[in-house]
Structure 1
Amino acid sequence: MASYRATTDWTLQASPEDFLKGRYGRGHTLSFGSGVEVPGTASHHVVGNKWAAPNAVDPEEMLVGSLSTCHMLTFLHKAREAGFVVERYVDEAVGVMEKTPEGRMAVTRVTLRPAISYAGRAPSAEESEHLHHLAHEECFIANSVKTEVVVEEREPA
C-alpha cells in the first residue's frame, strides 16, 4: 500500500463580513509530498474571474490532468511491453462538467485525445485500441473515479 500527501493552504484576505457574503479570493497553495508546490484556485466557471486566482490550476483541471497523465504513463508501459517504442505522446484532454441526473454538478466525461509517435513499427488501429483499453483498465486514477473516460486517438502533428 502507498499513501500520497497534499496540503492545501488558504488564508482569508478580506474582512469576515465580505467572507459571509461570498466575496473572497479562492486562491490557495497546494503542496505535495514530492515537494512540488502549485498555485490553486476555484474554477472561474464556478466563481467568476473576480474570485478565481489568475495563473492557478483548479480542481476540475487537476482531475482532467490526473486522468490524462495516468492514462499516458500506463499506456507507455503497455506499449513497451508489447514491443512498441513511443517517441512522443501529446494528449489534449477535455473534461465536461454538467448536472448529473440527481441534479449535482460533476465532471461527467473526460475525453483523452492523444497523438502518439513511434520509432519503428506503429501499432495497427486494433492494437492501439487494445493498448488504450489495457491502459484504461490499469490506470489507478481511472479506477478511482466514476467519470466516463473516452480515448479518441488522433494523428501526431
Structure 2
Amino acid sequence: MNGEHQYRLRATWTGDRGTGTSGYRDYDRSVSLEVDGKPLVEASADTPFRGDGSKWNPEELLLGALSECHLLSYLYACVKTGVVVVSYRDDASGTLVEDGKGGGAFSDVLLRPQVVVADSSMIDAAVAAHRQAREWCFIANSVNFPVRHEPVVTAA
C-alpha cells in the first residue's frame, strides 16, 4: 500500500447563541464533525476552556487517534508474526501543557495496552510487535511529541 491518501471532514460551529462572537462568554464552543456516510460527532472545547464536558474535545480526539492507530498497527504486526490476539484494551493518557500565552501543546502521550494472546508461547513476539506498530502508526509518526508505550501481554 503505497501512495498518497486524502481525508476530508466538515467541521461546523454550532454554538452561536444569537450574537455570534460578540464577546468571549457570549458563544458556545460546540462543533459538529461530519464525514460522508458516518455518524455525526458532537464536539466542544474541554471544560477548562469554556467547553461542554459531555462532548468530545480535540485533545481527546487526538489521544483517541493515537491509541486507535497503534491498536490497528499492532493487530497487523501480530498477524504478520503469527501472534493471535484475543483481547486488547488501552488505558491511554496524555499531558497538555499550556504556555501562558493562550496556547500550549501536548508534551507526551502514554499508551498502556493490555493484550491477551492465545498462547503463552506468543508473549515475546506479542511484546516485540508493539515496537513494529510504533514504526507503522501514521498518527504517531505525525506528531512532534513522544508517544510512549507500556504494554502488558498475558496469555488466555
TM-score of the superposed pair, with normalisation by structure 2: 0.84
Q: Provide structure 2 residue ranges, at least 5 long, that are not aligned to the other structure.
A: none
CA root-mean-square deviation:
2.1
Matched, 1:74 2:73: yes
| Residue among 21, 25, 28 paired with 2:28 | 25
CA distance in 2 between counterparts of 1:8 and 1:42 reads 13
TM-score of the superposed pair, with normalisation by structure 1: 0.84
Q: Provide structure 1 residue ranges, at least 5 long, that are not aligned to the other structure.
A: none
Counterpart of 2:8 in structure 1: which amino acid? R
Identity %: 32
Counterpart of 1:115 in structure 2: which amino acid? Q
Equivalence map 1:4-153=2 (5 Å): 4-11=7-14, 12-16=16-20, 19-23=21-25, 24-47=27-50, 52-99=51-98, 104-120=103-119, 121-124=121-124, 127-153=125-151
For each residue in 1:3-31, what CA deviation from the matched residue of structure 2 results, as whole angstroms up to 9, or x when unmatched? 11111111312424xx3321111011111
CA distance in 2 between counterparts of 1:57 and 1:37 reads 12
CA distance in 1 between counterparts of 2:58 and 2:47 reads 11
Task: Point out 4+ residue stretches in structure 1 off by more than 4 angstroms.
Answer: none
CA distance in 1 between counterparts of 2:12 and 2:47 reads 19
**Is 1:39–1:55's contact at 8 Å kept on the other side of the alignment?**
no
